[in-house]
Amino acid sequence: MSETMLIFGGWVAAGLTIFLFSFLYKDNPFFKVTEHLYLGAGMGWVFQTVLFQTWKPKVWEPLQAGDWTVLIPTVLGLSLVTQFFPRISWISRYGFTFIMGYGSGLVIPLTISTDLLKQIGGTIAPFMVSEISRANIGSLINGSIVAIGFICVLFYFFFSVEHKGVVKKASNIGIYFLMLYFGAAFGNTVMGRFSLLYGRFDDLYKYSAPKYFYATHVILAALVIYFVVDHFRKKKPEIEEEAA
């Protein structure tokens, strides 16, 4: 690809980024255009990926080779689209029930193993004889805190009995453990979002270089001019009214 196309790409990327950020100042047509482009481009990307990496090798090529069995899942898959036509929407049930039955059948044993048994095992592991015999007091204390906290959180989510007396106390302790979890998660969330923003600014900085003919600077300046002009343009009728 020619250098010109890469420079043009820099202008497009900088422009789209700045237009999306412009919403932070106020809603404007540039943002709206870019927002809609995003919806279409995202769907277009998924479409071409599925077309060339699933439909072609998994449906088209086997059919050409005479493997007609792929027609069964293809028809089931296509049946999903009938959802949009009320008179025949019941056909989509065949596709949906096939997906739901398979998913449900897989999820049950694995959830029991991964999120139930293994987690209960992890909670009681520090109290096993082999662990206790190591006389690691720190591990025992931490294990006890995890066990108490875990049980209290379960009490908090347990609505089959009224929360009063011991149950209320346990569930209150559970809330504190949840708050510690949410607090830690919040701290990390802040960090995550800043990383994304940093990534975009880093790109904008790249496109502000002379190699890209100062794309970021030029587009930013043009947008500022637009907002200034727009501001005065919208104020004009008021001034005219006052004069009248």
Partner 1 sequence: MKNFLEKLLKIDRRLIFLALAILLVFPIVKPLGLPNLNLGSEVKSLYERIEGLPPRSFVLMSLDYDPATRPELHPQAVAILRHAFRKNLRVGILTLNAGATGLIEEIGERIPKDIAPEKVYGKDYVILPYQPNPVAVMTQMGMDLYQIYDKDRDGSPIRDMEVFKGIKNVKDMQLGICITGTAMLDYWIAYTGDKFKFPMAGGVTAVSQMGYAPYLQTGQLKGLVGGMKGAADYETLINHKEKGTSGIDALSLAHLMVIILIVTANIMMLWLKYL
Partner 2 sequence: MTLIKKYIPLAICFLVGLMTLASYYVPNKTSENYLEVMNKWENIVAGFAFLLGLFSLFFSHYNKIRRKVDGWGYSLFVFVGFLVMVVPALMSHGKQMDGTSLTGLGWGYRFMFNALSGTMFSVLAFYIVSTAYRAFRIKSAQAGVLFAAALVLIIGKVPLGQLMWDKLLGWTHLGVTQIVQWLMDVPVVAGRRGIMMGLAVGGIVTALKIIFGIERQYMGKD
Joined together, the tokens standing for residue 162 give 């009224």
Q: What does the per-residue mask of binding to partner 1 show for 154-193, with x meaning CB under 8 A?
A: ---------------------------x--xx--xxxxxx
Residue 30 Cβ, how far from partner 2 at the closest point, in Å? 11
Q: Which is nearer to partner 1, 114 or 144 (CB)?
A: 114
- Please answer whether residues 170 and 152 qualify as being in contact, where contact means their C-beta atoms are separated by less than 8 angstroms: yes
Q: How far is CA 69 from CA 74, 97, 102, in A?
A: 9, 19, 18
One-letter amino acid for residue 81 of the chain: V
* DSSP-assigned letter for residue 208: T
Give the chain's length: 244
Contact flag: residue 44 with partner 1 (CB under 8 A) = no
Binding status of residue 101 toward partner 1 by CB under 8 A = no
Choose from partner 2, partner 1, none: what does 157 bind? Cβ within 5-8 Å by kind: partner 2
Q: What distance separates the 2 farthest-apart alpha carbons in the chain? A: 93
Give the Å distances, CA to CA, from 168 to 153, 154, 158, 175, 203. 11, 12, 11, 10, 52
Among 121, 128, 181, 230, indicate the residue that binds partner 2 (CB under 8 A). 181
135 belongs to the binding site for partner 2 (CB under 8 A): no
Encoding tokens for residue 126? 């520090």
Cβ atoms of 30 and 223 within 8 Å: the answer is yes
Rule CB under 8 A: say whether 44 interacts with partner 2. Answer: yes
Q: Is 49 in the site for partner 2 (CB under 8 A)?
A: yes
Contact residue for partner 2 among 26, 61, 73, 211 (CB under 8 A): 73
Return the one option of partner 1, partner 2, none that residue 180 interacts with (CB less than 5 to 8 A, by type).
partner 2
Q: Is 226 an interacting residue with respect to partner 2 (CB under 8 A)?
A: no
Residue choice 105, 165, 210, 237 for contact with partner 2 (CB under 8 A): 105
Cα 8 to chain centroid, rounded: 30
C-beta atoms surrounding 216 within 10 Å: 23
Residue from the set 29, 44, 101, 103 that interacts with partner 1 by CB under 8 A? 103
Q: Token pair of 82, please? A: 């009938």
How far apart CA 46 and CA 211 sit, in angstroms, is 32
Cα 38 to Cα 29, 87, 207, 222: the distances in Å are 14, 33, 20, 22
Instruction: Kindly tell me which of 181 and 235 has the beta carbon lying closer to partner 2.
Output: 181
φ/ψ of residue 184, rounded to 5:
-65, -40
User: Is 174 among the residues that bind partner 2 (CB under 8 A)?
Assistant: yes
Of the ranges 128-136, 181-189, 220-228, 229-237, which one interacts with partner 2 (CB under 8 A)?
181-189
User: Does residue number 97 form part of the binding site for partner 1 (CB under 8 A)?
Assistant: no
What residues line the site for partner 1 (CB under 8 A)? Answer: 24-25, 42, 45-46, 49-50, 53-54, 57, 102-103, 106, 110-111, 113-115, 118-119, 121-122, 125, 146, 181, 184-185, 188-202, 205
